[in-house]
Structure 1
């Protein structure tokens, strides 16, 4: 039995709210880079990009960030060249902020590049951080035990988040 913590409509609502927050933060910019951490984080970034296209005239540049979650010290690669996102506003996006390991290594990667503005966004913030990293924009904050696991499912016709 899955303990559903976010339904499809709740995810859509939170995605739209995060898109508005990003738009408000980057309202003085012409474009913003949404850098989604590979797989679910990138899918979430795509969803935010669609919402931003509906509510603003910001040019959205999508970037996929590939991090080895088992060994985040490995080289991090992106679908864009550094020159395509330097001196721009950037939002690093993931689905769940667990320990903060993936997000902090993603942040570290982008710190080597001059950026105008740098923010982070997650759908679910677990409040179990090992690192001093926070999400600037978050869909939901949830206090869970370390033994519990949060999974976000993005399927063609269904999306939800559950606790197991």
Structure 2
């Protein structure tokens, strides 16, 4: 069942971008760190909207980890964590379910002292098993544990979010 269409997704991204700017207007730079494929796709969409609204320097980076087994391999990023000292960081994923993937995405930032770390997701399912606070939410959705969320954002013509 489709729960968000392209227009709704774009409206949410616009709103989230403005909220991120409101909370980071004094920042020297905002780092957008997208998790894996869909998280990175969502981060790119946010980056484009942020870029249209601000002159604050923005950096987009990818966080790579195995969501099924986050301890199986090191969590990797496209940029050195040392370059993130004192910066405002927004960790971005498409869906927050138990919070496990987002929890382990914090790992590269544990050895540095950023100005702050926030979390943005398109859909928050409210099934947290890990101590993760989501700061920016496109849609908060109560689902059963058997249901899942399928986010389609790779093809502009087919952007949608489905409850399956």
TM over 0.5: yes
Q: CA deviation at 1:28?
A: 0.3
Alpha-carbon contact 2:75-2:107 (below 8 Å) kept: no
Residue ranges of structure 1 left out of the alignment (5+ in a row) = none
Moved over 6 A (4+): none
Could you tell me which residue of structure 1 aligns to residue 78 of structure 2? 79
Could you tell me which residue of structure 2 aligns to residue 142 of structure 1? 141
TM-score, normalized by length of structure 1? 0.95
Residue ranges of structure 2 left out of the alignment (5+ in a row) = none
Root-mean-square deviation (CA, aligned residues, Å) is 1.0
Pick the aligned partner of 1:62 from 54, 57, 60: 60
Counterpart check, 1:162 vs 2:159: no
Separation of aligned partners in 2, 1:72 and 1:24: 32
Alpha-carbon contact 2:81-2:108 (below 8 Å) kept: no
Partner secondary structure for residue 94 of structure 1: strand
Separation of aligned partners in 2, 1:137 and 1:158: 24
Separation of aligned partners in 2, 1:156 and 1:133: 30
Separation of aligned partners in 1, 2:5 and 2:70: 30
Could you tell me which residue of structure 1 aligns to residue 31 of structure 2? 33
Counterpart check, 1:105 vs 2:104: yes
Q: CA deviation at 1:85?
A: 1.6
TM-score, normalized by length of structure 2? 0.95
Separation of aligned partners in 2, 1:107 and 1:138: 18
Q: CA deviation at 1:36?
A: 0.3
Separation of aligned partners in 2, 1:156 and 1:12: 10
Q: CA deviation at 1:32?
A: 0.4
Q: Deviations over 1:37-84 (max 9, x none)?
A: 010000101100100011111111001000111111231000111122
